[in-house]
Amino acid sequence: MEEIKSAINEKVSLIENFIALSLRRDKVHNVAVILLKETKELQKLMDMVRRAVKNDLSKVDEQHGRLIIRMQRQQSDLLSYILTERRRKIQEAEKREHEMLVAFTVSNAPRTAEKLVANQTLEKGMNRLNLHSSAKAQKLTLSGYKESPLVKQRPIHPIPFKFLDFEYLITTEQFESIPKYMRGRESVDDLRNFLDTVIVTCFNKKYQLMHRQRSTVRNRQDLELWKVYNQQASYVPGRNFITPGDISQQIHKMLDKKQQNRIVMLRHLGVIQEQRVGQTVCYIWNADSH
């Protein structure tokens, strides 16, 4: 009897719950419809916000790209102007020196006086060029150096100057364009330092010695290098280059994996170009072709 009573009470409870839900059905349905409508409107707003943000980001990226290109062009124009002015001043100084030497050559002074005046003339010319060893290293064009009296004089002390022909600045954007697997842990400063202190220094040393007159080269080691450089001049006619041996001599050791990888990065950027002539690897200066 108790079991029947319990079952009846359970059914009565279910019937009461069903009746209560039925009475609230319309109210719950209306609330659900409103919520669904508001959800759709919110979704539309979110889509509009995403599109607006995407458009703004695209415009910002485009403006940033144009700004970077403009800055690079301005930097290039500024460097070009500075280099042009330096060349012009150097050429003017060389012209004045040449005129003084020519005027002296046609003079009728005794030979002893000629030597004295020639030395004074050269000294004045060097003063104009600011090429004393105590001064900060100045810069000359390679063509200007080959035509100057410097190639005819035996230097008592090393003359601190560099060639404008071998100047190049690697930008951050160029460095970041190098594939990451090639860069490894190298930084743009590491590559710039290698270019300036090793590669460019090798070019400067080689072509300062190579274009001197044979009679001015007295040091035995320099004379051997002078002979090698002039023999190799026919390897790549009209182009300036160095070899792995020149680099090893500069760093006082054989090229290791890190230095070879830096050379690969410079080749990737087009600063140097590699060409094999017989058994000799030539690293050709290629930056001026950019």
pLDDT exceeds cutoff 90 at 119: no
Token readout for 14 is 């279910």
Tell me the pLDDT tens digit for each residue of 185-194.
999 999 999 9
pLDDT exceeds cutoff 60 at 175: yes
- Residue that wins the pLDDT comparison between 207 and 137: 207
Tell me the pLDDT tens digit for each residue of 198-235.
999 999 999 999 999 998 898 899 999 999 999 999 99
Residue 229 and residue 204 in contact, taking contact as beta carbons nearer than 8 Å: no
Q: Which CATH architecture is the domain 167-290 placed in?
A: Orthogonal Bundle (1.10)
Residue 94's CB: how many other CB atoms inside 10 A? 21
Tell me the pLDDT tens digit for each residue of 143-171.
988 888 888 877 655 556 789 999 999 99
Residue 101 and residue 153 in contact, taking contact as beta carbons nearer than 8 Å: no
Q: What is the pLDDT of residue 136?
A: 56
**Under the phi-then-psi rule, with left for phi > 0, alpha for psi from -120 to 50, and beta for the rest, what region is 105?**
alpha
CA distance 278 to 276: 6
Would you give the DSSP letter of residue 197? I
Mean of pLDDT over the chain: 79
Q: What is the pLDDT of residue 108?
A: 43
Q: What is the pLDDT of residue 22?
A: 67
pLDDT exceeds cutoff 90 at 71: no
The full set of domain ranges for the chain reads: 167-290
Model confidence band, residue 23 (pLDDT cutoffs 50, 70, 90):
low
Lowest mean pLDDT among 7-11, 106-110, 172-176: 106-110
SS3 154: coil
Q: What is the mean pLDDT of residues 73-81?
A: 70
The set of long-range contacts for 246-253, using a CB threshold of 8 Å and a minimum separation of 24, is 246/202, 246/205, 246/206, 247/198, 247/199, 247/202, 247/283, 250/198, 250/201, 250/202, 250/205, 251/198
- Residue that wins the pLDDT comparison between 130 and 265: 265
Q: What is the pTM of this model?
A: 0.54
- Residue 210's nearest CA partner among 237, 232, 230 is 230
Q: What is the mean pLDDT of residues 83-94?
A: 75
pLDDT exceeds cutoff 70 at 266: yes
Pairing of strands 280-285, 241-242: antiparallel
- Residue that wins the pLDDT comparison between 202 and 119: 202
Model confidence band, residue 14 (pLDDT cutoffs 50, 70, 90):
confident
Most confidently modeled of 96-105, 112-121, 142-151, 188-197?
188-197
- Integer distance in angstroms from the first to the last C-alpha of the chain? 105
pLDDT exceeds cutoff 60 at 116: no
Q: What is the pLDDT of residue 62?
A: 74
Tell me the pLDDT tens digit for each residue of 237-256.
999 999 999 999 999 999 99
pLDDT exceeds cutoff 90 at 120: no
CA distance 249 to 205: 11
